[in-house]
Structures are given as C-alpha cells and as structure tokens.
C-alpha cells in the first residue's frame, strides 16, 4: 500500500499553492526499479535529486529510520544546501536527538503534520538560503536546527476536526492495480484515514503520543466521500481503515455505515479496534456496509499482564471467546491480536495466551496475530523493563521485535552504514534492541511470535490434544516443533526465524505422526490430517482416514480433551470426509463408503460393479446430493443407504 502520510501532506501543500512530487521508494524496490543491495541508498539519492527539488520530505516508520537517515546523509553529501524534513512515526519522541546528531536533517515534524509542514514550506518560500529560513521558522509542531542545535517550536494541537483537512492526493500515487502487480498479483488493498488517535494509554503503544491522547473521526458524509473517491481508483479490491480505535464512537460508525449503504457504495473494507468496543448490532451494521474483517488488539488473556501494560477499559473482564463467537455469528471475520514478551510476564501467562489462540482459531473466520513486545522510544518502558528484569536490552543482529521487521534490504542483510547507526545510537534506535523476560530468551521469543500463529491457525485442536496426551504445556510443544524446524535449517530462510506456512503445517503434522507411531494413538495423526485438509482445501477434496477424527473434533470444540483410552470407545473406524470450500469457509462432510466411491468414480458402471446392491436410483440420488454439497446448497435429504 502507499503511505498515507505523504499523500495527506502533498494534498495540504498543493492546497497552499506549493508544487509536489511523490516517490514511493519501497514500491520501486519491490518492482525491481531500484537495486536491492548495498547500492540502494545511493541510487535512491540520485533518483530524488533528479527531480530537482527545492526541499525534500522523508517519511519514516520505525523500521525505516536507519535507511531514512542514511538516505538523508547521501542526499546532503550531494546537495548540502537542500533542506530535508523528516516525519512519521519513526522520529516520534526523539526529534531533538535526531536534529542534534544527524546534520543532514534540517527539521523534524512532531506528530500530526499537515499544518506544520505547510507552514514550514511557507517559511522557506522565496529566494535566499533555504536552510537559514528553516532554522528561523517558528511554526508550531517542529524541531528545527538553529545555530547548530535543536530548537523545539511551540507545540501544535491536533486538528479540531478532520473534515477541515484535505483528502489524500491519490493522484500523486500509482494505482492500486500497480501496487498489486508489484506485490506479485492478488488483491489490491489501499489505506483509508477515517479517524486518528486513541483515548487509551497502553504502555506498549505510541499512538497516543503521536496523535495526542484524543480520538477523532471524519463526519459520516466525509467518510462516505472517501469511500466513493477510493472506489474510483483503478483495480482497488479492498480498503484498510487505518484508525487504531475505529469504533470508539459507536453512533458515528453506525452513521458512516448507513451513509455508505445509502450511496450504494459496495467497496469492501477492513478496520481495527478493541474487542470491548463492538457488539452484535454494530458488527451486523458494519458487515452490511461491506466490512469483512476486524483486527482486535486483545494482547493478553492474563488480567495481570493487562494491568501491567495499562490496558484500560473492560479488557480485563471481557470474555474474549464469547465476543469472538458473537462476531462469527454476525458474519464478521476477526484477527485476534496477542502479545508475548511483556515486561514481568510469567510462563503461565504466555501459556494462557497460546491456549486462547488455539481455542479461538476453531471459530469461523478467526485468524491469529502474535506479536513480540517492542521497545520503542515513545513507550517509556524500555529502561524500566531492563532494570526490573535484569536481563537487559540486547542488540542481536538478525533478531528483532515486530516494529523493525523488514528493515534489512536485501532480506537478512543490513548496510554497514545503517548497522553502524543502529549500534552507535541506542536512544534513536531503541526499537532495534530486544527484551525477553526471564526465563525465556530473545531467540525463543522470536521463533514463537513469528511462527506459533501459523501452527495454531491450522492445527489448533491437534496441538492442544497432542500437548495434553504428552503432558506438556502448549508453549513447550510449540518450542519443540520450532526448535526442530530451526535445527533442520529453518534459520537459512531469507528472513531469519520466519517459517513459511507449509513448513509450519508440516512441522505440526510431523509431531502428530511421530506421537501416533510411538504412543499407538493413530487418532492424533488422523486429527492432524483432518485439520490440514480443512485449511488447505482450495475447492473440494476427499480425504480417507483409517481413524475417524470427527468425535475428537466434537469433543475438543465442546471443551473436552479426550484421554488416550480407546478401550472405552471401541476399535477405530475408518472415515471418508469431503471438504468443500464455500467462500472463505470450508465445510467438512462425513461420507459413507458408498458416497465416497461415488464422489471419486465418475463412471456409473464401475460404481454399480463395486456396489451391486445399490440401485440406479440410489446412485442418481447420491450424485445429486454431492452436487448440491459442492454448490453449497444444503439439503434435508438423507444420505443414500450403503
């Protein structure tokens, strides 16, 4: 997706009469138009200077801060008189340190920057030394270099109403179709800024620092205008609403949905919010207006962890499982966001999170997102965490928490100049240091948070059952699978410690098969193959298993983990299961042996030869039932005998 920040700034600058050009360097890298090696930054500098700018603005996330400051230095070496302003989440709370230590940066925008940026441009407009004009600028919301030192101008309050700001200048960016093509095809997803800010103050989050501890939204009319504007872009498939707390004003969201529906806008969209800020009626209204999925920052299933991270509201008393089930009933897909590695976190609290993830993964439309608690300059907890735990903040090349993933270009490699910046400046680059509460380690947390959700999404029942049968915690079982994968060469993947989903599934199935072979419990392996097929079916497939896993599925979904006592349940029975994908869901249908043969054998004569007691009428009825199942039409007819 293109970054929204520069497009908002571009719109504001043009409205004031300034000329604007926008280059998405990340897009050009992905498309192969810039070299993905140690010559990248020099090539970026040459490309930017070829535009002959009067001033240069660089937007940086935390992950791209080393590259942004490296790029600024390369540009300044070629054109030392060019003023460069830095903005975005990356420099948040360390603006003065950046201006003091990185002489290529003339100014840093603090927080919401439309007005600050435009007033800085106004101050530079005209003849003469532009760097001197930048130094003299007193527009609120900036840190400028004045007399060689950082000077912070008066603070700027967030815009009173977002309706007063111009919409993003989408014409400056390439089309959604171009972005999708650069990513290798698939869905074209673009961002939308319908609101900003958060009224909470969770200790791990810097959103309230950046936007101010307030939340604002566009009016329903302006929000619907934004949907209409994006619907006109070439090839757009879905919109991602970037507001962290989109449903904080329940009535406003209902009004936005109603206005979008009234206009007949059918553009699908996704958003994020807190799980304690939705309900059945709201979810149904959002679903009717095209919202298909919501990311919920639940963070932890342990009340003590929520208290330590200052996760306010009703989070500590919320029944997460019931709330996710309500979302599933409303037809809304959910992403469950959880976090590990929080300062003071105990092993049993990590286990509670993993158990929650496994239980939630069996609900319709629920996917998982597991994060490693990230040290950042803005959250103010890094030094406190290190001092309290005694394990310290560590700079471990190749092992990073979530907010700095992807900073290494090419994957797995950091330019020596950027590595030197990161090592020399632990204040500006605090997020590149990792923290792991004892008794765990950074490598164990990296493996767990990058990969466990892949296993738990596909094999949630299998892993819970396997852990119970072996007398292990779910964490210990996952650690075993991940350590085995890592020892077999998983660290050689392009992005260190990151599994591909097929490898994750194979690792989980391999554990189940090993257990079944050594413990004589074939139902565990059968359950693993069932869940794998449930996840991987693209259209329809028949799976024949020597042991029927469906009783296990029913028991586990009802909250029971059956013991390994086959004597009580009798000898194992074979099963034929037809998996049918219908949209985003897969149905699993148990078939009789006759129905399974009918499905696999299109030749009626061969079916009759194998089943001489079956009539032509039964065969025709079986094919009709299978056709209805494959088309997704439920039927009340009984399965034919046999």
Decide which of 343 and 568 is more confident: 343
For residue range 501-547, what is the model confidence (pLDDT) as tens digits? 888 888 889 999 999 999 999 999 999 999 999 999 999 999 999 99
Examine residue 568 and state whether it is found in any structural domain, yes or no: no
Confidence of residue 494 (pLDDT cuts 50, 70, 90): very low
**Are residues 256 and 194 in contact, defined by beta-carbon separation less than 8 angstroms?**
yes
Backbone φ, ψ for residue 601 (5° rounding): -115, 105
Look at residue 567 in the predicted model and tell me its pLDDT: 44
Examine residue 550 and state whether it is found in any structural domain, yes or no: no
98 lies in the same domain as 240: no
257 lies in the same domain as 350: yes
Residue 57 exposed, middle or buried by CB count within 10 Å (0-12, 13-18, 19+): buried
The C-alpha atoms of residue 340 and residue 343 are separated, in whole angstroms, by 9
The C-alpha atoms of residue 432 and residue 401 are separated, in whole angstroms, by 7
The C-alpha atoms of residue 224 and residue 262 are separated, in whole angstroms, by 10
For residue range 38-65, what is the model confidence (pLDDT) as tens digits? 999 999 999 999 999 999 999 999 999 9
The C-alpha atoms of residue 504 and residue 564 are separated, in whole angstroms, by 25
38 lies in the same domain as 185: no
Examine residue 33 and state whether it is found in any structural domain, yes or no: yes
200 lies in the same domain as 349: yes
User: Which residues, 6+ apart, have CB-to-CB distance to 84 below 8 Å?
Assistant: 55, 56, 57, 58, 72, 75, 76, 104, 105, 106, 107
Q: Taking 80 as the threshold, does the pLDDT of residue 308 lie above it?
A: yes
Q: Taking 90 as the threshold, does the pLDDT of residue 356 lie above it?
A: yes
Residue 384 belongs to domain with CATH number: 3.20.20.70
145 lies in the same domain as 188: no
Look at residue 568 in the predicted model and tell me its pLDDT: 46
Examine residue 40 and state whether it is found in any structural domain, yes or no: yes
Q: Taking 50 as the threshold, does the pLDDT of residue 276 lie above it?
A: yes
How far does CA 250 lie from the centroid of its chain?
Answer: 24
Examine residue 468 and state whether it is found in any structural domain, yes or no: no
DSSP state of 236: -
Look at residue 569 in the predicted model and tell me its pLDDT: 54
Look at residue 507 in the predicted model and tell me its pLDDT: 86
Domain containing 132 equals: 4-152
268 lies in the same domain as 210: yes
233 lies in the same domain as 111: no
Examine residue 159 and state whether it is found in any structural domain, yes or no: no
Examine residue 42 and state whether it is found in any structural domain, yes or no: yes
Bond before 478 cis per omega within 30 degrees: no
Compute the average pLDDT of residues 161-186.
95
**Are residues 461 and 556 in contact, defined by beta-carbon separation less than 8 angstroms?**
yes
Look at residue 397 in the predicted model and tell me its pLDDT: 86
Look at residue 141 in the predicted model and tell me its pLDDT: 97
Residue 102 belongs to domain with CATH number: 3.40.50
For residue range 120-152, what is the model confidence (pLDDT) as tens digits? 999 999 888 999 999 999 999 999 999 999 999
Examine residue 587 and state whether it is found in any structural domain, yes or no: no
241 lies in the same domain as 123: no
Domain count, the chain: 2
236 lies in the same domain as 92: no
């Amino acid at each position: 997706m293109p970054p929204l920040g520069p497009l908002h700034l571009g719109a504001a600058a043009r409205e004031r009469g300034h000329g604007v050009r926008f280059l998405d360097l990340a897009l050009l890298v992905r498309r192969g138009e810039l070299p993905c090696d140690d010559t990248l930054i020099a090539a970026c500098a040459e490309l930017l200077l070829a535009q002959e700018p009067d001033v240069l603005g660089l937007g940086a996330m935390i992950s791209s801060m080393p590259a942004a400051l490296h790029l600024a230095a390369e540009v300044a070496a070629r054109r030392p008189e060019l003023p460069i302003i830095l903005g975005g989440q990356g420099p948040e709370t360390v603006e003065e340190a950046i201006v003091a230590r990185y002489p290529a940066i003339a100014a840093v925008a603090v927080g919401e920057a439309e007005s600050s940026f435009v007033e800085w441009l106004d101050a530079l407009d005209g003849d003469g030394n532009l760097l001197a004009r930048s130094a003299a600028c007193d527009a609120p919301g900036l840190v400028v270099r004045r007399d060689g030192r950082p000077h912070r101008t008066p603070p700027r309050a967030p815009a009173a109403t977002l309706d007063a700001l111009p919409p993003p200048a989408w014409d400056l960016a390439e089309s959604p179709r171009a972005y999708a093509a650069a990513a290798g095809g698939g869905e074209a997803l673009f961002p939308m800024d319908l609101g900003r800010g958060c009224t909470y103050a969770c200790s791990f989050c810097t959103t309230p620092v950046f936007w101010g501890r307030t939340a604002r939204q566009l009016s329903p009319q302006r929000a619907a205008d934004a949907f209409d504007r994006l619907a006109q872009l070439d090839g757009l498939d879905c919109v991602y609403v970037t507001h962290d707390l989109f449903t904080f004003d329940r009535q406003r969201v209902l009004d936005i949905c109603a206005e979008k529906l009234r206009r007949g806008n059918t553009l699908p969209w996704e958003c994020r919010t807190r799980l304690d800020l939705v309900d059945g009626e709201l979810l149904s209204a959002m679903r009717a207006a095209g919202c298909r999925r919501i990311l919920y920052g639940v963070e932890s299933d342990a009340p003590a962890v929520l208290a330590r991270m200052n996760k306010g509201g009703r989070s500590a008393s919320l029944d997460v499982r019931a709330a996710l089930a309500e979302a599933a009933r409303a037809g809304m897909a959910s992403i469950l966001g959880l976090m590990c590695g929080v300062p003071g976190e105990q092993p049993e609290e990590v286990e509670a999170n993993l158990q929650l993830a496994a239980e939630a993964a069996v609900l319709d439309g629920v996917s998982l997102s597991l994060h490693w608690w990230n040290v950042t300059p803005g959250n103010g907890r890094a030094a406190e965490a290190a001092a309290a735990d005694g394990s310290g903040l560590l700079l471990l090349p190749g092992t990073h928490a979530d907010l700095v993933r992807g900073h290494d270009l090419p994957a797995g490699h950091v330019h020596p100049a950027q590595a030197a910046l990161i090592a020399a400046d632990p204040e500006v680059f605090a997020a590149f240091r990792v923290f792991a509460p004892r008794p765990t380690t950074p490598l164990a947390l990296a493996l767990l948070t990058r990969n466990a959700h892949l296993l738990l999404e596909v094999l949630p029942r299998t892993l819970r059952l396997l852990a119970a049968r072996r007398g292990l915690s779910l964490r210990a079982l996952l650690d075993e699978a991940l350590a085995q994968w890592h020892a077999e060469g998983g660290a050689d993947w392009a992005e260190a410690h990151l599994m591909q989903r097929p490898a994750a599934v194979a690792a989980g199935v391999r554990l189940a098969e090993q257990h079944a072979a050594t413990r004589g419990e074939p139902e565990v392996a059968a359950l693993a193959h069932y869940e794998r097929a449930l996840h991987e079916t693209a259209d329809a497939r028949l799976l024949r298993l020597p042991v029927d896993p469906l009783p296990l599925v029913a028991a586990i979904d009802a909250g029971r983990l059956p013991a390994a006592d086959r004597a009580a349940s009798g000898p194992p029975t074979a099963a034929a299961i037809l998996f049918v994908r219908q949209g985003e869901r897969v149905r699993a249908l148990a078939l009789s042996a006759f129905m399974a043969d009918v499905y696999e054998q299109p030749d009626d004569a061969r079916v009759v030869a194998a089943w001489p007691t079956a009539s032509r009428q039964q065969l025709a009825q079986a094919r009709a039932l299978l056709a209805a199942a494959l088309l997704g039409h439920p039927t009340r007819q009984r399965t034919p005998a046999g």
